[in-house]
Amino acid sequence: MEYSKEFKAALSNFSSIEKDRLIFRLLKKDKLLSKKLYFELIDTETVDQKRTQMEEIIEEKVLFASKYLSNPKYFLVLIRKLSAEVTEHIKITTDKFGEVSLHLFLINKILDHNNKLNHQRFDEVYKLHIYLINKALKALTLVKKLDEDYWIEIDELLEDLEDKINDNRYLQKLCLNNSVNLAWLRCDHIPEDLDVIIKDIKSQGFLK
């Protein structure tokens, strides 16, 4: 929504008390904005510290969710909720590195349970694995937006991911069947037009 000059001028004419009241009313309705402002104005913790905390939360909650691996649908529900927490962290802190690293970290923690995943029926874990592939591809499209100084750390996560994909027969099969090239799991091997490639793959009915 665009605001006219007249509307902006009218807001500027509010008294300090009126502006404060308006701000607090808006913050009550927008919890995410409230958390973002708190982080930017008051919070003494850095983005790096918040990211480390998020990694600890991911480890803890994936471990808890793993108790429900025998119920893949519910397991995926728990993982989606956890992913939403990661997204909230990113929006609050504007953590560009974490936008890539945390999602790759989440995928790797899930795939730490490959032994159990490999013993499920393919149709039962299909949606989970497609979800993980799409999440990994999204992270790859964001890598090129990062400073290359971060690539070493990202490559460590990608190397771990490649090893775990190779240890997961379903993921291997789905990557092959959906034209996902594991060679992309290196920062300097990610195609510049990966987003276009993914769009083309999806237009053919894959990655769904």
Domain ranges in the chain are 28-204
Q: How far apart are CA 87 and CA 157, in angstroms?
A: 18
Q: What is the pLDDT of residue 119?
A: 92
CB–CB of 198/207 below 8 Å? yes
For 69, phi then psi, to 5°, come to -65, -25
Q: Would you call 146 helix, strand, or coil by DSSP?
A: coil
Q: What is the pLDDT of residue 13?
A: 86
CB–CB of 101/155 below 8 Å? no
Please state, in angstroms and as integers, the Cα–Cα distance from residue 62 to each residue in 23, 37, 71, 120, following that order.
37, 29, 14, 18
Q: What is the pLDDT of residue 1?
A: 61
User: What stretches in the chain show pLDDT beneath 70?
Assistant: 1
CB atoms within 10 A of CB 76: 19
Q: Would you call 179 helix, strand, or coil by DSSP?
A: coil
CB–CB of 140/104 below 8 Å? no
What pTM was computed for the model?
0.91
Assigned token pair, 134: 């799409």
Assigned token pair, 44: 């003494």
Q: What is the pLDDT of residue 180?
A: 97
Please state, in angstroms and as integers, the Cα–Cα distance from residue 60 to each residue in 9, 41, 63, 108, 197, following that order.
49, 29, 5, 13, 35
Q: Which of 135, 132, 28 is nearest to 75 (CA)?
A: 132
